[in-house]
Structure 1
């Protein structure tokens, strides 16, 4: 939203006299109408509040379901990956399990309808539900046939059965998919489309991986591989394009801070004759971020996993460790003041520009005195400071938000912050008490005293369905200043931090760059600890699970991007292939090297062809096989430099464990490339 972010490589879209960023940071939706809500005592929605609004029940179910599916996909390994229908089996129950019929899918539709305030017509809804019932039946038949073949892989009738049922199920889904992208209703149907596409890609993966064993002709398997790659690109690009379209619509939603059914925590403050007008901007920002948050979880996060469904690129039987590096933002609560009450002001203070991944180590909140002229006695905060560090670096630095320092500081609250998985806040006209919890929801620290009557609101990111651990951890806190309400119009207003926002990282993102001995390890390039000499972090296209590192041509000898890597204990002495997922706007030459204690070991200069011009799409990204190396060290660095051409965009660095001899491993890779 902040137009000043252009020089920080934000992607900005113009919308009249407003601007906004289109990708990953997102907000959390409005708060609670009950004190001390509990998920077991009420309806725990995806935004961490107790609410009785029906559409928020649908959002809650949809987000928790999506988190559950994502959690299963990120953790899947052998033997599920080695069985036909293995991936489908692990997520089928979340989509057609405990609730009857197509209830989960109907919630997907209702959730997005609420987020963009657009209703699907009865005819379009009925057609989609009818097609989903057919998809359900076809997938059940395919799972039965696949299970039969898994148990009897040499049985001719089992092979024939699974071949026939695959073809039938594939035809059913191919026929159904257009009903999930009906013109003018693409946005409210988007979650349905993404989840159905996910199932279809898993089905096609099975045929490519097992088709020869099923007795399919090689030519048919090759046709299906072409279809898998084509559909992956098509589905990805549709999801990203439609997400952006929906984001524009969400940006234009009209805020109504006096809707106390939806925003009970604003009652009666948003009608205050002096300060009520300052609640409009945070409600407006939250509407936009409701879509950005929930559709990131329900759509973009799962899209980021799809490249790993290609069994000819990702051949490891134990799977891939995937990390989502996007930073997401929960609800802004409170209000700004006369000089910062705008959507752009909130965006610029709460949402950070694209950056290398940082971890939060300490959170410091400075509390100021209540002045004699103020009638309201709750705690008032003057400054919040984040102590941060890059992955693989022991150096820390601070980023702060502060109000004009007119109050003496009476208390400093310092909280260890490397394991905060949830929080609640108490608020009247502004938040004044914070309770922080770890990933298991055990209380870590409380800041500020209770001052009833209060309104307690949970403000973390929700858990996956039936999970006992939080899905995200706190990564950043920002705040904007406001003026205190003294109760007398003639009293001079005094400054305090009155509008608070919180950033979160998905728990798949680990605090170190550890490579595993059994799985292929993906490390996002933004987990580096240095980007300099023309290297910048830029907004990802929406399909990569986070941002990218852009390397422009550099004629020097210094490193542009450095990533610190620590092999696990069992990974030491293992041999790995280093592979890079990248995009490039022009032909280029890329230096990649492994650096250990003041000397280079493996290095290479690689010719990189242009992969795209204009907007990035799925097919903009290619793979570069760099070199093989042995992970003998406790720690080493992978370093990059664009020698010429480009710019090159680094998405992920992959470490592929080599089983057996390097010669046999390379021969297998060459065979896959030839196919």
Structure 2
């Protein structure tokens, strides 16, 4: 087995005493490793990189603006697995030594990555409208290729170790694992800076996040199971300190780089002369400019959330000394947005300037910080429109004028209703159901687009309702499909992951008009429409796991009181946050499975001052119970809520949440502080302590 790496020229140099006893010391890789690979490595030579950059640039000229679907679905599958929602696969990942290596590495690190990674970096060029530096491209690709091949050897070493258990070669196999781990760990330390080369950090961010996820999970495996491989306690503690440091370092780099890219894409202007990319743009391009500018900006936010930030949100659970159960069920409460469709009806063709701008759409379509909501009902309305009004010379047709939606909060029967636009004649009503895709038909009429129908589809791709607003004209109809993530995951390496990656759920419809109310007769009509989507990990009943740690986002509370409010998340938590004010509680409802009675509670919070947090509830007999958290001061707190701002605090005592022998039970938890000026809650965690007493 060691035949594959015995001629590897840096295998001994990379072990350097540094990594056994001094995990914080920087590796002087520029002098020691002039090249990560050379022609001497007959068995692990990366694919020749000559002309790959040139081929990539040729690919970029024909590429779309969307990140490769395969990467998107793969990232979603990894998040789904790390979040503890794939039966069987999750157990393998968390409970078996080397489980991640055996199940996830082939998904993230396929044997031939050059063309796929080139396509990803090409898509990133288009996403941020900036070419990647050739040196950064070739360097990152070479290091990625090298890591891929080394990880394949590591994967086989783990398999050999498993198969050797009980045999005479077990000790030798364990020694091979230890040596290979040191080499893999060393190579990650060398490679990670190559995935954030100055000037190309944004291009390389998805690759950085992929490598970081792999490095952290392999470190977790060693910290949790290292004794089975023969590591001593001192060495395992050393790697644990490196794991904690790396989670913080990788997290902060990802959010800082993501934010840099987000600000940059705000300045992008869609090239509407590109008729291949924008075939629906007709006549006056100013009628479309604001919408397509926003779509470019939002594409970065959406795609990078799926490729990077969702992964980042799972990293804290890779600390095996904090998250001690086999799995941690993590829920992502963030919201994503598909492209806006429609056009301005006035624009510069009149004396009025278009108000459909990036900021206008952000204000109309991006959800303000608030509690997580569920979409219960949709009603649509139309009014009659005369083309070329007010001259009245054109044909009359129906035009979408109003959308009424009903929403509710988690574990609450109380509904809220709001109307976008104005009422008119009813088009359709869509009852509560799981909608995972919408299809919008839009007709190109003169220099405008008119929404003619909206179809809603369920998880089986069956039509729930097709809301037909008007008949199509002969000018040309465009059908836009909206779904997150798009496509189906068909990786041959992990069918189990692909089969359990559901699409996002429709959570809200947004809409806007061309003009302020009262400016023109056109203000009755909706000119553009968009859709918001939430991650399928959120449970509508906040059901606690009987076997694993359950993380419940604070924003899935059903009610807030006083000055307590929801604030925008920092991007690393998978959603928004709840900021508690003194004596202003929030109500978080959870559902206890049959027969489970005893949980240890924790909170993941950000705070400056020390104080106490109180959770009050009633038991099944109506008696009030109280659990207190002694929250220590966090000296690392910063206003921008970087990783170090958060800490996990355990309650002073367990909480009794008992269900009956035959049915689950809902509990309302009143969470508040009496002496802390401000504490920000990310998640409330429940660790099961007592199992089913009725079995």
TM-score range, shorter chain: 0.7 to 0.9
Query: Among 465, 471, 480, which residue is 1:445 paired with?
Result: 465
Deviation at 1:255, TM superposition (A): 2.5
**CA-to-partner distance for each residue in 1:18-51, whole Å, 9 max, x for gaps?**
xxxxxxxxxxxxxxxxxxxxxxxxxxxxxxxxx9
Q: Look up the match of 2:605.
A: 582
Q: Look up the match of 1:521.
A: 550
Local SS of the residue matching 1:294: helix
Query: Among 141, 151, 154, which residue is 1:142 paired with?
Result: 154
Cα distance in structure 2, aligned partners of 1:88 and 1:109: 25
Cα root mean square deviation, aligned: 2.4
After superposition, the Cα gap between the structure-2 partners of 1:605 and 1:294, relative to the gap in structure 1 and judged at 3 Å, is closer
Q: Is the 8 A contact 1:595 1:639 kept in 2?
A: no
Deviation at 1:115, TM superposition (A): 0.8
Query: Among 484, 502, 506, which residue is 1:474 paired with?
Result: 506
Q: Look up the match of 1:265.
A: 280
Cα distance in structure 1, aligned partners of 2:372 and 2:343: 29
Q: Is the 8 A contact 2:631 2:649 kept in 1?
A: no
Cα distance in structure 1, aligned partners of 2:488 and 2:245: 31
Do residues 649 (structure 1) and 672 (structure 2) align?
no
Deviation at 1:58, TM superposition (A): 4.8
Structure number with higher relative contact order (C-alpha < 8 Å, ≥ 6 residues apart): 1
Local SS of the residue matching 1:444: strand
Cα distance in structure 2, aligned partners of 1:263 and 1:507: 31
Local SS of the residue matching 1:188: helix
Q: Look up the match of 1:397.
A: 416
Q: Look up the match of 1:497.
A: 526
Deviation at 1:378, TM superposition (A): 4.7
Q: Look up the match of 1:547.
A: 576
Cα distance in structure 2, aligned partners of 1:96 and 1:170: 16
Q: Look up the match of 2:331.
A: 323
After superposition, the Cα gap between the structure-2 partners of 1:637 and 1:603, relative to the gap in structure 1 and judged at 3 Å, is same
Q: Look up the match of 1:622.
A: 647
Local SS of the residue matching 1:354: coil
Query: Among 53, 56, 79, which residue is 1:70 paired with?
Result: 79
Query: Among 243, 246, 256, which residue is 1:228 paired with?
Result: 243
Local SS of the residue matching 2:425: strand
Cα distance in structure 1, aligned partners of 2:180 and 2:629: 48
Cα distance in structure 2, aligned partners of 1:644 and 1:131: 52
What are the residue-to-residue correspondences of 1:160-199 with 2, within 5 Å?
160-199=175-214
Query: Among 196, 208, 221, which residue is 2:223 paired with?
Result: 208
Cα distance in structure 2, aligned partners of 1:153 and 1:376: 80
Q: TM-score, normalised by structure 2?
A: 0.80
After superposition, the Cα gap between the structure-2 partners of 1:377 and 1:59, relative to the gap in structure 1 and judged at 3 Å, is farther
Q: Look up the match of 2:303.
A: 294
Cα distance in structure 1, aligned partners of 2:432 and 2:526: 20
Local SS of the residue matching 2:104: helix
Q: Is the 8 A contact 1:585 1:646 kept in 2?
A: no
Deviation at 1:374, TM superposition (A): 6.6
Do residues 83 (structure 1) and 96 (structure 2) align?
yes
**CA-to-partner distance for each residue in 1:419-474, whole Å, 9 max, x for gaps?**
11001100021322101001221111001144143111102222451357751010
Q: Look up the match of 2:439.
A: 424
Cα distance in structure 1, aligned partners of 2:587 and 2:197: 45
| Of 215-224 and 296-305, the range deviating more from structure 2 | 215-224
After superposition, the Cα gap between the structure-2 partners of 1:512 and 1:660, relative to the gap in structure 1 and judged at 3 Å, is closer
Cα distance in structure 2, aligned partners of 1:174 and 1:660: 42
Do residues 609 (structure 1) and 633 (structure 2) align?
yes
After superposition, the Cα gap between the structure-2 partners of 1:534 and 1:57, relative to the gap in structure 1 and judged at 3 Å, is closer
Q: Is the 8 A contact 2:216 2:243 kept in 1?
A: yes
Deviation at 1:599, TM superposition (A): 4.3
Query: Among 525, 531, 539, which residue is 1:510 paired with?
Result: 539
What are the residue-to-residue correspondences of 1:349-368 with 2, within 5 Å?
349-368=364-383
- Could you say which structure has the larger radius of gyration? 2
Local SS of the residue matching 1:189: helix
After superposition, the Cα gap between the structure-2 partners of 1:609 and 1:204, relative to the gap in structure 1 and judged at 3 Å, is same
**CA-to-partner distance for each residue in 1:560-580, whole Å, 9 max, x for gaps?**
1111111123xx334211111
After superposition, the Cα gap between the structure-2 partners of 1:53 and 1:586, relative to the gap in structure 1 and judged at 3 Å, is farther
Q: Look up the match of 1:104.
A: 116
Local SS of the residue matching 1:515: coil
Cα distance in structure 2, aligned partners of 1:426 and 1:286: 18
Deviation at 1:347, TM superposition (A): 1.0
Q: Look up the match of 2:590.
A: 565
Do residues 60 (structure 1) and 69 (structure 2) align?
yes
**CA-to-partner distance for each residue in 1:128-166, whole Å, 9 max, x for gaps?**
111111111221121112122234446211211111111
Q: Is the 8 A contact 2:334 2:574 kept in 1?
A: yes
Cα distance in structure 2, aligned partners of 1:79 and 1:574: 27
Cα distance in structure 2, aligned partners of 1:494 and 1:480: 10
After superposition, the Cα gap between the structure-2 partners of 1:104 and 1:512, relative to the gap in structure 1 and judged at 3 Å, is farther
Local SS of the residue matching 2:276: coil
Query: Among 278, 291, 311, which residue is 1:282 paired with?
Result: 291
Local SS of the residue matching 1:265: coil
Q: Look up the match of 2:8.
A: none
Cα distance in structure 2, aligned partners of 1:171 and 1:113: 30
After superposition, the Cα gap between the structure-2 partners of 1:610 and 1:643, relative to the gap in structure 1 and judged at 3 Å, is farther
Q: Is the 8 A contact 2:442 2:451 kept in 1?
A: yes
Q: Look up the match of 1:414.
A: 429
Cα distance in structure 2, aligned partners of 1:595 and 1:73: 33
Deviation at 1:102, TM superposition (A): 2.6
Q: Is the 8 A contact 2:597 2:691 kept in 1?
A: no
**CA-to-partner distance for each residue in 1:282-315, whole Å, 9 max, x for gaps?**
1111111010010011000011011111111111
Deviation at 1:518, TM superposition (A): 1.4
Q: Look up the match of 1:534.
A: 563
Unpaired runs of 5+ residues, structure 1, are 1-50, 484-490, 662-675
Unpaired runs of 5+ residues, structure 2, are 1-59, 347-351, 444-448, 491-497, 660-664
After superposition, the Cα gap between the structure-2 partners of 1:463 and 1:587, relative to the gap in structure 1 and judged at 3 Å, is farther
Local SS of the residue matching 2:296: helix
After superposition, the Cα gap between the structure-2 partners of 1:157 and 1:423, relative to the gap in structure 1 and judged at 3 Å, is same
Do residues 595 (structure 1) and 618 (structure 2) align?
yes
Query: Among 373, 382, 387, which residue is 2:401 paired with?
Result: 382
Q: Is the 8 A contact 2:619 2:658 kept in 1?
A: no
Cα distance in structure 2, aligned partners of 1:400 and 1:89: 51
Deviation at 1:493, TM superposition (A): 5.2
After superposition, the Cα gap between the structure-2 partners of 1:387 and 1:175, relative to the gap in structure 1 and judged at 3 Å, is same
| Of 145-154 and 178-187, the range deviating more from structure 2 | 145-154
Query: Among 439, 445, 455, which residue is 1:435 paired with?
Result: 455
Q: Is the 8 A contact 1:198 1:306 kept in 2?
A: yes
Cα distance in structure 2, aligned partners of 1:363 and 1:77: 36
